Structure 1
Amino acid sequence: MQNNKHISPENILHITSGEITANQLKKQLPQDDILPFNEAMCEGETCAEIFSDAFYRLRAAAYEIPLQEYLQKSPGNFLQSCLKNYDTLYLYFDYDMFCAVNVITLLAFLEQAEYPGQIKFQLLEADGTVKVLDTWPVILGNYKKCYTKVLLDRQRFVTGNELLDKGIALYLDYKKKNNRITRYIAAHGSAEQMQLVQELLLKFADYGLTDMAAAKFIAAVRDKKR
């Protein structure tokens, strides 16, 4: 990406849900600036100041990786240093909990940074492609409050956006020790590990579970039974 000093109406930054989506979008827009939002905010802990030093340390701990390794993929440094160079942002995310929590964090950061430009949300099919199902403009205003209420206080917050509100409800359940996923694991405790992981990914697709998250849930439930 180039750090353009001159801002024009065509100066757009595309922010995707991750590297797979970013790679797909690059095939369609090879000349455009594309940034993967490499976060999984539904995992681990966070803090009030997004992309601060404390935030970075907490996120590295959430992924159980060294801080420097985390910083190599984090979008934070680029967003903090180059955001002002873009007057329009296109956000590409699908409709599961994983994406909803990341979107809330990203929009909260844009409020924190007092981003003045236009924001356009592109709702994607949840199949790794960049097939756009719907699009709408985003108006900032309540997302920092939402981020604080949901991710820090673990309390309900109504955004008025159906997809985000569904994601919030799933997230609040997800962060409980006794949730839909752990209850399913407890009821199917004799299943082989890989089989159970695959079942969880399919049955709880609305959460956007990763293999690693599913395996952690299984380990936690089985350790508790010992």
Structure 2
Amino acid sequence: MTQTGTVHILNGTEMYKHFKETQFLEPERMMPFNEAMCYGETCDDLFSDEFIGMRAGVHQVSPAQYAEITMQPLQPFFKENFDRIELWFDEDMFCQMNLLTILAWLDQTEFKGSIELHLVDDHFKPVRSHSLEAKGYAQLYKQVMIYKTMPTEVEPISLYKGNHLYLNYLKEDSDLMVYIHKHGDLPAKELVSLLIRNFREYGLGDTQYFEMIRVVRDSSNSA
């Protein structure tokens, strides 16, 4: 079954719940993208069995669980034909790498309709919008997320900033890693709270921070 019209892709369940509760965008169709593409490895065949298996491993769930959490909410997006896509993402690194993944998929599938990106603040309120075309993002996704190299030009600027943070945040000299090393005596839970509060531009959550702290402290203990 095919359909024309508009679909709104939201960065995650929390935004989806908020929009539902406030009846924002009603009665438009909304779908959450439940991922954290800024963390862990990926592949260029987006949303394939290989992709599902790889991302399930990153999140330490089974492929079936990953499919239920991430793929199932997006099924109409994959299977139906829409002529307008509206994307709702925060400007932080977490959201921008999810955004890049969606734009890359639209590019790979040669989407010809209109794309409107709505950047939102911490309370999911729109702050600015950009009209985009599904061109060049598949190559950008591969360059940044697979080959880990920084492009010279990226539009919009929020995506450029997200790419830069993504390619550097796990390096030993990044502000995040320096902060984790500096606070090696703090309980992990307390340190996670500080990281979330002090590094909002990354948009990382407790799951990612606990894993980063574990890796850093395991490597320090084995040194």
TM-score, reference length from structure 1: 0.90
Structure 1 residues 54 and 6: alpha-carbon distance in aligned structure 2, compared to 1, 3 A threshold: closer
Provide the rounded CA distance (Å) in 2 between the counterparts of 1:6 and 1:81.
Answer: 9
Q: Which residue of 2 aligns with 1:113?
A: 109
Provide the rounded CA distance (Å) in 2 between the counterparts of 1:135 and 1:29.
Answer: 15
Provide the rounded CA distance (Å) in 1 between the counterparts of 2:173 and 2:51.
Answer: 27
Structure 1 residues 1-226: aligned runs within 5 Å: 5-7=2-4, 11-26=5-20, 27-75=23-71, 77-82=75-80, 84=81, 86-127=82-123, 129=124, 131-157=125-151, 158-176=153-171, 179-226=174-221
> 5+ residue gaps in structure 1?
none
Structure 1 residue 29 displacement after superposition = 3.0
Q: Is the 8 A contact 1:12 1:33 kept in 2?
A: yes
Q: Deviations over 1:73-114 (max 9, x none)?
A: 2245443212x1x11111000100001111111000001111
Structure 1 residues 6 and 184: alpha-carbon distance in aligned structure 2, compared to 1, 3 A threshold: closer
The one-letter code matched in structure 1 to 2:198 is: K
After alignment, is 68-77 or 116-125 more displaced?
Answer: 68-77
Provide the rounded CA distance (Å) in 1 between the counterparts of 2:86 and 2:96.
Answer: 15
Provide the rounded CA distance (Å) in 2 between the counterparts of 1:20 and 1:176.
Answer: 29
Q: Is the 8 A contact 2:89 2:95 kept in 1?
A: yes
Provide the rounded CA distance (Å) in 2 between the counterparts of 1:225 and 1:119.
Answer: 46
The percent identity for this pair of structures is: 32
Provide the rounded CA distance (Å) in 2 between the counterparts of 1:195 and 1:33.
Answer: 39
Provide the rounded CA distance (Å) in 1 between the counterparts of 2:181 and 2:170.
Answer: 17
TM-score, reference length from structure 2: 0.91
> 5+ residue gaps in structure 2?
none
Provide the rounded CA distance (Å) in 1 between the counterparts of 2:173 and 2:119.
Answer: 31
Provide the rounded CA distance (Å) in 2 between the counterparts of 1:155 and 1:96.
Answer: 19
Structure 1 residue 6 displacement after superposition = 4.5
Q: Is the 8 A contact 1:13 1:34 kept in 2?
A: yes
